[in-house]
């Protein structure tokens, strides 16, 4: 018969005990590495809050850029309008009096020649 001796059985049992001990250590290490559900939920909420804050910042930046763009367009349009007003002012301040003087001189010359 191939029955193992008591010493051999004790040796096998000790080897199994050591093997089980190592397996439990590995299992405990794995469990320690796992994140608890509560911690996962807290971290997920924090990520969601950060995401919402980031989206709010992006929206605020885009709004500010749109306002700046509109202000720049408004300033450009005002400058164009000011140039047009300046041209009209120059025309009425310089050209019209010269034309009136020329017209008076023409009329005076025509009237003197009659």
CB 95 within 8 A of CB 87: no
Q: How far is CA 44 from CA 34, 50, 54, 57, in A?
A: 15, 10, 15, 20
Taking only the tens place, the pLDDT of each residue in 15-60 is 999 999 999 899 888 877 777 888 888 888 999 999 999 999 999 9
| Triad 12, 16, 22: Cα angle to 5° | 145
Which residues form the domain of 59? 35-113
**Total number of domains in the chain:** 2
| Same-domain pairing of 40 and 91 | yes
For the chain, the average pLDDT equals 89
More confident call, 93 vs 74: 74
| Same-domain pairing of 52 and 96 | yes
| Same-domain pairing of 51 and 94 | yes
pLDDT classification of 9: cutoffs 50, 70, 90: confident
Alpha helices in 1-114 (DSSP H): 6-33, 37-90, 96-113
pTM over 0.85: no
State residue 96's pLDDT score.
Answer: 85
Cα distance between residue 61 and residue 92, in whole Å: 46
Is the pLDDT assigned to residue 87 strictly greater than 60?
yes
Over residues 79-86, mean pLDDT: 95
| Same-domain pairing of 28 and 51 | no
| Same-domain pairing of 91 and 44 | yes
| Same-domain pairing of 43 and 4 | no
| Same-domain pairing of 48 and 73 | yes
pLDDT classification of 114: cutoffs 50, 70, 90: low
Residues in the chain: 114
| Same-domain pairing of 2 and 51 | no
| Same-domain pairing of 50 and 82 | yes
- CB within 8 Å of 5: residues ≥ 6 apart: none
| Same-domain pairing of 47 and 59 | yes
More confident call, 110 vs 33: 110
| Same-domain pairing of 29 and 52 | no
Cα distance between residue 68 and residue 61, in whole Å: 10
């Amino acid at each position: 018969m191939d029955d193992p001796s008591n010493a051999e059985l004790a040796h096998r049992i000790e080897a199994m005990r050591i093997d089980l001990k190592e397996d439990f250590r590995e299992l405990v290490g794995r469990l320690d590495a796992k994140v608890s559900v509560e911690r996962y939920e807290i971290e997920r909420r924090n990520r969601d809050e950060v995401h919402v804050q980031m989206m709010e910042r992006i929206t605020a930046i885009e709004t500010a850029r749109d306002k700046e763009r509109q202000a720049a367009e408004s300033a450009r349009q005002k400058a164009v309008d000011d140039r047009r007003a300046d041209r009209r002012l120059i025309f009425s301040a310089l050209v019209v009096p010269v034309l009136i003087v020329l017209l008076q001189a023409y009329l005076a010359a025509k009237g003197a020649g009659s």
